[in-house]
């Protein structure tokens, strides 16, 4: 059994769009996030998202974009390239693309995935790119969080215990 090099799965926006924009012969799923410290909740979420199609693309906030989200002091803890490579190493992830905007709307609009996925903490009307995906015939799916798994909670616990 061979293992794909995660480096080859981290793509620039241009390469991602060249390989996976419409028309395509597969059902493409897209999700996004900071993914600062990968944990069981992330893995369960990504695995479930991948099950909704033939390929999963994960948009990852750059460090600057993540800081603008106000995740807390010193966040993200891991640099953007490191976060992207860790995600790319997961079997269920087919491609990772960094984005620097506050939301992935532009990337979603360019890619137009067949399925746009977000976590259960979102309301459908708050999902960036929802209108564009639905107008193109795609759908939006909210996946509930795995109870007890949160990067913010994990970071707070680590800081209390040091």
Tell me the DSSP string of 36-94.
-S--HHHHHHHHHHHTTSSEEEEEEE-HHHHHHTT--TT--SS-HHHHHHHHHTSTT--
pLDDT greater than 70 at residue 1: no
Q: Which domains does the chain have, with CATH numbers?
A: 6-161 (3.40.50.620)
pLDDT digits (tens, 9 = 90+) for 33-54: 999 999 999 999 999 999 999 9
Question: pTM for this structure?
Answer: 0.92
DSSP-assigned letter for residue 122? S
Q: What's the rounded Cα separation, in Å, for the pair 62 and 107?
A: 13
Please say whether the beta carbons of 62 and 88 come within 8 A: no
The per-residue pLDDT for 33 is 96
Residue 30's beta-bridge partner residues?
57, 116
Tokens coding 107: 């990337």
3-state secondary structure (DSSP) of residue 96? strand
Rounded CA separation 110/22 (Å): 9
pLDDT tens readout for residues 93-120: 999 999 999 999 999 999 999 999 999 8
């Amino acid at each position: 059994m061979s293992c794909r090099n995660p480096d080859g799965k981290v793509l620039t926006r241009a390469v991602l769009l060249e390989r996976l924009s419409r028309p395509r012969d597969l059902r493409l799923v897209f999700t996004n996030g900071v993914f600062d410290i990968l944990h069981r909740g992330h893995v369960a979420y990504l695995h479930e998202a991948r099950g909704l199609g033939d390929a999963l693309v994960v948009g990852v906030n750059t460090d600057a974009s993540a800081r603008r989200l106000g995740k807390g002091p010193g966040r993200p803890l891991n640099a953007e390239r490191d976060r992207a490579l860790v995600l790319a190493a997961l079997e269920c992830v087919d491609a990772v693309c960094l984005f620097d905007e506050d939301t992935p709307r532009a990337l979603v609009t360019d890619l137009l995935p067949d399925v746009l996925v977000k976590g259960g903490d979102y309301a459908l009307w708050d999902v960036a790119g929802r209108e564009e995906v639905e107008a193109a015939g795609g759908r939006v799916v909210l996946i509930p969080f795995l109870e007890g798994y949160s990067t913010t909670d994990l970071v707070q616990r680590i800081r209390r215990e040091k």
